[in-house]
């Protein structure tokens, strides 16, 4: 009975507040005869300041007020965390210690376990690691729920200038309703540790991790000298919380019916019990409860609708509708999905539906009501100042119609972050096949030539045949998907930009993937269509060598030397050692002439001077010619020499 009474009390209180003021300007309310503040922090019921247990609901809500400081500071007694503010809407901000980690060989840290409490870690937090050459893994009950990687740069001011962007620092989002969080900080590899030493940075120099309120962190990025940072917890008063209270302790006659017909009902709590006086009208209580539940649901539903409307406007929904209405020929090509439809299609974005993580967000596999399989990308937090660019890209991508470009089906803007819906491509990424992770389908020389030609054709279309030229800006083998017939599909346009027909370049902060970045763009911040050509050249080298694009080790007589795959390829070409790095399968299946022509084309794409690189149209033409000649070679014509 007592949990029911507490629910009635809370619902009455919330309902009276909602009815009294639609602007929610009333101050939080403490229980009668209980302290309402500790220092500058308001303490609303069900929280309360001890020692009287009548002032709080049960022990997890007990607040200790430390009067030895000025002003006094409130603490959650059981969690031993300083409280910064309490919201009756279910939010609580606390100070959480920063975890300083040392050693560099892999560290595991378990954050405060909230299991059994009314609190969970909020999705508005971010798990942040300040270090370099590391992989941060985030787990809950030994299940991986997030992660990020950071690279090294001894210029530490970079994070202060541009935020936590993966250089000396990385961040990852958290799912909702986590009670247990374990973080593991690992060097990305033994190679990563060597890179730290070679670049003048070590994990021990500034190696710490913390969970932090994202909004606070955006304005307070330097936390190295802080012992703790704000963290958002969410709290609730569910019946599950109530049922955690032990059975009533003490003699049964401790709570009796007095001669006025009032029942003194026993309430359980950790370590004891207490009595409450209530009227004995059960029917009246149940009727009132049902009425309050109905009112509460109506208010909650109205708040959800307003929240969706707010997100829709903030995410540029009105601008998108305006853009679509001005492009009437394309209105039917893109759909504005409802959040409920996408939640159902992914089982509320369950972890087992994740297809992959990218720099722009997480991709989930979903099934729409009509049975279509789709890929649903839940974007990261979008800078409101760039929303017009985001909407423009959605409209531009809706106009792309090419067989080797992944189609965008629609988007959802009524959620906290934009959600994009694409056609589902079933056979994974090109990188998985190049690196031999899919053993049952070997990547033949014929397939590699066809896939390279398809990618080149798609990029040529984007650069010159689309309504407006589009620079992809993140061409790499992990962004090339393979469909059911192993045809190439260029994907992930999260960083793409459209330009006017007479515009030759974009001036932006450097954005892309190491190993694929155009060195000219890296130094000048000027991205051109030839920057996409350079990245495509790296993909050609991957197809030719079967090696990863980042840093590779080159063994010399004295010590290991580290180079990018592109640099290693160019030097091998200059030293006439091409066939030492070509994958063995290609040496068996391809002709010497065809392999040389393919390699020379890749070398021209990787020219350090962008002006000397071919256009994607020229690349496509040359690949088509190589593909045709190699088909003739495999048909046993005598004009080609086998390697």
Tens digits of residue pLDDT in 601-617 = 999 999 999 999 999 99
At residue 273 the predicted structure's pLDDT band, cuts being 50, 70 and 90, is: very low
Contact 339, 415 (CB under 8 A): yes
pLDDT tens by residue, 566-603: 999 999 999 999 999 999 999 999 999 999 999 999 99
> Residue 193 and residue 122: Cα distance in Å, rounded?
33
> Residue 533 and residue 539: Cα distance in Å, rounded?
10
Geometric angle at alpha carbon 146, from 144 and 150, rounded to 5°: 125
Residue 586 is predicted with a pLDDT of: 95
* CATH number of the structural domain 316-423: 3.30.200.20
Choice among 69-83, 381-395, 401-415, 545-559 with the minimum mean pLDDT: 381-395
Residue 559 is predicted with a pLDDT of: 55
pLDDT value at 541 more than 90: yes
Residue 263 is predicted with a pLDDT of: 44
The residues that bridge with 92 in the sheet, in sequence order, are 86, 233
Helices (H), 428-512: 430-434, 445-460
pLDDT tens by residue, 385-396: 556 556 666 776
Using N-to-C axis directions, what is the helix angle for 445-460 and 616-634, rounded to 10°?
A: 160
Mean pLDDT of the chain: 77
Residue 551 is predicted with a pLDDT of: 60
Average of pLDDT values for 59-78? 92
Contact 483, 426 (CB under 8 A): yes
pLDDT tens by residue, 177-233: 889 988 887 776 544 444 444 444 454 455 778 899 998 988 876 777 788 899 999
pLDDT value at 244 more than 50: no
Residue 253 is predicted with a pLDDT of: 37
Q: Under CATH, to which class is 438-634 assigned?
A: mainly alpha
Residue 588 is predicted with a pLDDT of: 94
Residue 293 is predicted with a pLDDT of: 83
**Domain ranges (residues) in the chain:** 1-27+283-314, 28-91+238-278, 96-233, 316-423, 438-634
Higher pLDDT, 493 or 63: 63
At residue 372 the predicted structure's pLDDT band, cuts being 50, 70 and 90, is: very high
In sequence order, the 6+-apart residues with CB closer than 8 A to the CB of 300 are: none
pLDDT value at 359 more than 70: no
Contact 269, 58 (CB under 8 A): yes
At residue 290 the predicted structure's pLDDT band, cuts being 50, 70 and 90, is: confident
> Residue 272 and residue 274: Cα distance in Å, rounded?
7
Higher pLDDT, 476 or 525: 476
pLDDT value at 10 more than 80: no
pLDDT value at 274 more than 70: no
Residue 331 is predicted with a pLDDT of: 43
Q: Beta strand pairing status for 408-412 and 335-336?
A: parallel
> Residue 347 and residue 352: Cα distance in Å, rounded?
9
Residue 641 is predicted with a pLDDT of: 58
Range picked from 101-115, 269-283, 313-327 for highest mean pLDDT: 101-115
Residue 271 is predicted with a pLDDT of: 38
Residue 13 is predicted with a pLDDT of: 47
Helices (H), 147-281: 157-162, 190-198, 214-219, 239-243
Residue 329 is predicted with a pLDDT of: 46
pLDDT value at 260 more than 80: no
Residue 381 is predicted with a pLDDT of: 61
Cα torsion at 536, 542, 548, 554 (round to 10°)? -110
At residue 19 the predicted structure's pLDDT band, cuts being 50, 70 and 90, is: very low
3 state SS of 207: coil
At residue 257 the predicted structure's pLDDT band, cuts being 50, 70 and 90, is: very low
Q: How large is the C-alpha radius of gyration of the chain?
A: 30
Residues annotated as part of the active site: 474
Size (the chain), residues: 643
pLDDT tens by residue, 27-43: 457 777 888 899 999 99
pLDDT value at 620 more than 80: yes
pLDDT value at 80 more than 80: yes
In sequence order, the 6+-apart residues with CB closer than 8 A to the CB of 345 are: 366, 367, 368, 369, 374, 376
At residue 279 the predicted structure's pLDDT band, cuts being 50, 70 and 90, is: very low
């Amino acid at each position: 009975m007592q949990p029911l009474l507490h629910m009635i009390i809370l619902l009455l209180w919330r309902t009276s507040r909602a009815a009294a003021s639609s602007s929610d300007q009333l101050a939080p309310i403490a229980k009668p005869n209980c302290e309402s503040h500790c220092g500058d922090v308001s303490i609303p019921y069900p929280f309360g300041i001890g020692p009287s247990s009548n002032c709080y609901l049960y022990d997890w809500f007990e607040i200790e007020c430390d009067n030895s400081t000025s002003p006094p500071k409130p603490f959650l007694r059981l969690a031993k965390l300083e409280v910064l503010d309490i919201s009756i809407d279910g939010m609580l901000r606390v100070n959480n210690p920063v975890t300083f980690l040392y050693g560099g060989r892999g560290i595991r840290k378990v954050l405060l376990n909230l299991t059994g409490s009314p609190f969970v870690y909020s999705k508005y937090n971010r798990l942040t690691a300040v270090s370099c050459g590391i992989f941060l893994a985030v787990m809950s009950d030994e299940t991986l729920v997030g992660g990020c990687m950071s690279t090294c740069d001894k210029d530490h001011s970079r994070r202060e200038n541009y935020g936590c962007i993966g250089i000396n620092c990385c961040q990852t989002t958290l799912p909702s309703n986590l009670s247990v969080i374990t973080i593991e900080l690992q060097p990305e590899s033994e190679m990563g540790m060597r890179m730290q030493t070679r670049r003048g940075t070590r994990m021990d120099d500034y190696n710490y991790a913390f969970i932090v309120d994202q909004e606070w962190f955006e304005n307070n990025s330097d936390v190295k000298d802080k012992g703790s940072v704000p963290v958002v917890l969410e709290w609730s008063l569910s019946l599950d919380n109530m049922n955690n209270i032990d059975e009533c302790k003490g003699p049964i006659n401790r709570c009796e019916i007095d001669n006025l017909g009032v029942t003194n009902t026993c309430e359980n709590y950790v370590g004891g019990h207490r009595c409450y006086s209530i009227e004995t009208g059960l029917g009246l209580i149940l009727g009132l409860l049902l009425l309050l539940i109905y009112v509460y649901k109506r208010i909650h539903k109205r708040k959800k609708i307003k929240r969706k409307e707010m997100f829709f406007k903030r995410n540029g929904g009105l601008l998108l509708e305006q853009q679509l209405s001005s492009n009437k020929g394309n209105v039917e090509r893109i759909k504005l999905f409802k959040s409920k439809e996408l939640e159902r299609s992914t089982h509320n974005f369950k972890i087992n539906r994740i297809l992959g993580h990218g720099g722009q967000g997480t991709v989930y596999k979903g099934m729409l009501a009509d049975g279509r399989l789709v890929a649903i990308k839940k974007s990261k937090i979008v800078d409101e100042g760039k929303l017009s660019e985001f909407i423009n890209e959605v409209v531009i991508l809706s106009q792309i119609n090419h067989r080797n470009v992944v189609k965008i089906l629609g988007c959802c803007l009524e959620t906290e972050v934009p959600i994009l819906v694409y056609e589902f491509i079933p056979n994974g990424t090109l990188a998985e096949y190049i690196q031999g992770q899919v053993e049952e389908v070997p990547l033949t020389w014929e397939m590699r030539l066809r896939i390279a030609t398809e990618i080149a054709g798609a990029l040529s279309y984007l650069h010159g045949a689309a309504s407006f030229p589009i620079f992809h800006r993140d061409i790499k083998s992990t962004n090339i998907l393979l469909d059911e017939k192993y045809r190439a599909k260029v994907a992930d346009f999260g960083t793409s930009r459209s330009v006017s027909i007479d515009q030759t370049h974009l001036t932006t902060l450097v954005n892309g993937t190491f190993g694929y970045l155009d060195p000219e763009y890296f130094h000048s911040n000027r991205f051109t269509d030839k920057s996409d050509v350079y990245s495509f050249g790296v993909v050609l080298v991957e197809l030719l060598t079967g090696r990863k694009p980042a840093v590779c080790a080159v063994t010399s007589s004295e010590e290991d030397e580290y180079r990018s795959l592109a640099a290693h390829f160019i030097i091998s070409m200059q030293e006439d050692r091409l066939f030492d790095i070509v994958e063995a399968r290609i040496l068996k299946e391809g002709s010497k002439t065809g392999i040389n022509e393919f390699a020379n084309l890749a070398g021209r794409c990787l020219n350090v001077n962008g002006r000397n690189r071919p256009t994607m149209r020229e690349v496509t033409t040359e690949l088509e010619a190589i593909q045709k000649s190699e088909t003739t070679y495999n048909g046993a014509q005598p004009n080609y020499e086998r390697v």
